[in-house]
Amino acid sequence: MKSSIYLFAAAFAVTVAPVAAQTPDFSKVEIKSETLGPGVAVLFGAGGNIGVSHGPDGTVLIDDQFAPLTDKIAKAVADLGGTPVKYLVNTHWHFDHSGGNENLGKAGATIFAHDNVRVRLAAGQNLLGNAVPPASAAALPVVTYAEGLTFHLNGDDIDAVFTGGGHTDGDTVLYWRKANVLHTGDLMMTEAPFPFVDTESGGNAVRLVASLDKVLAMTNAQTKIIPGHGPVTDRAGMQAWRDRIARAVETVRAAKGSGKTLDTFLAANPFKPMDREGAFVNSEGFARAIWASLDAEAHGHGHQH
Ligand SMILES: [Zn+2]
């Protein structure tokens, strides 16, 4: 089990690079923390960024990276002054965000996620050509929701909201109302030229843009935004990310509308200049994902809930 996850992580790293840059020798990974408000922090390590709420009512973790990092993450939480994790929220099922579930579940944390996260974790998945085995019972969310829920603790109200997905079909964003901090999950990645639209997991580029519009509406100019990967950003950063994706979707839509095939579109791929060495997703992967997303919308498979 353990070795298959490692193997899978290695295979994944070949195709998608932030993981490639980070994966590997977990013994060398350092967990760094950045405080974003009283009792609110983000942890950076390997895999998805972790949001933390800590205080008198207990520790809430947003995502948990990889299983071999659980002890280091626990130490980072303790260093912030936090108690052991009481509640855990998965922003989506991808293993670089939920890999610590089994450890934390066994240690007594209650795991929360969108309905589809539990379904996908329980069933096992395919991700970029790799088979991910079904998660163990201890790793599964025990509280699931279709729309969202709110945590009232540590002097704040933290909304967990499903805005319609787009990266997958189970993306949750978290918003601290008082601290004015937002965790986007992988709806956004800073320092990435393209989003990852995981069409195999119900992701859809059209819905991603719609989701980002809803998330933007939850923010103001002072909101601190924790992306799924990369450094903390703000609303202007998210607006630019959203606009770039929206323009790309319209470019592909226009090409399809004019009768182009995917092959002819890719032959003169207009996104190519945005390619970046070592990026998570390249211009061709992005174009293919948008194409598939528009096909799915056209065939009425766009809304699966
Ligand atoms: Zn992801």
Q: Tokens in use for 91?
A: 């922003």
**How does the average pLDDT of the chain come out, rounded?**
92
Is residue 4 over pLDDT 70? no
Distances (CA, A) of 237 to 70, 226, 231: 30, 11, 11
CA of 89 to the centre of ligand 1 (A): 14
pLDDT in tens, 155-172: 999 999 999 999 999 999
Cα–ligand 1 centroid distance for 132 (angstroms): 14
**Which own/partner pairs from 262-271 qualify as long-range (CB within 8 Å, at least 24 positions apart)?**
262/287, 262/288, 262/291, 265/291, 271/194
* Gap from CA of 35 to ligand 1 centroid (Å): 23
**How much distance in Å is there from the Cα of 92 to the middle of ligand 1?**
7
How far does residue 251's CA lie from ligand 1's centre (Å)? Answer: 24
Total number of residues shown for the chain? 305
One-letter amino acid at 168 equals T
The Cα–Cα gap between 70 and 260 comes to 48
| Digit-coded pLDDT (tens) for 95-140 | 999 999 999 999 999 999 999 999 999 999 999 888 999 999 999 9
- Ligand 1 centre and the CA of 216: distance in Å? 19
Q: Which residues surround ligand 1, an ion (CB under 5 A)?
A: 94, 186
